[in-house]
Amino acid sequence: MSTFSESLWNNNLDIYNFITNTDFIQQLSDGCLPEEKFRYYIQQDALYLADFGKALALLAVKATDQSHMLQFLQFAQGAVIVEKALHENYFRLYNITGGPEKMPGCFAYTHFLVSTTAIQPLEVGVAAVLPCFWIYREVGKYILKHAATPNPYQQWIDTYAGDEFDTLVTQMLEITNTLAAQTTDSLRAQMQEVFRFSCRMEWTFWNDAYVLNAWKPV
């Protein structure tokens, strides 16, 4: 019998396949992604992680299981640490200065995550943040398998395809399955719905970086 998280993945495999076939992922894997597109991605990712950490902290506040509470807090801390590392490493490497603005995809995704984790039941909030963990792991493994070597983006690839991140994703999947098993059919349906929306936003995030999507001057 499949787990709830397996049903989530299988029901959204179409979006994952779209993501791995985006020009951004294909060119990142080949090592030929234009630097300006990676710079855009890194700037937006730093902004995203700041709010992602807040969303995870909100889940910790709602958690009734102490072990889950601690894990959410550790996840939140990890997001903040990675954001800081992006600023210290990639921002310096690519000479990124000033405070970048959230572009449309990042703005929509972060507002969805923070509002969902703040307003909706814990189970729904967990399902909303899960794609960021899970899709990044799978995309990281996909790129690692297909990446050209040497690759100018190898450090980024190693971060998301490594054992440490893999462990975090496994922990998040265990929490998701535990909560899904204890909740109602209605909430499980909501979990499916927000999971798919976040998967769509993951695709949007990658695609925005490739097309350098920006606010229109209106």
* Residues that are catalytic: 132, 202
Backbone angles phi, psi at 176, to 5 degrees: -60, -45
Contacts 24+ apart (CB under 8 A), 149-153: 150/31, 151/29, 151/31, 152/31, 153/28, 153/31, 153/33, 153/38
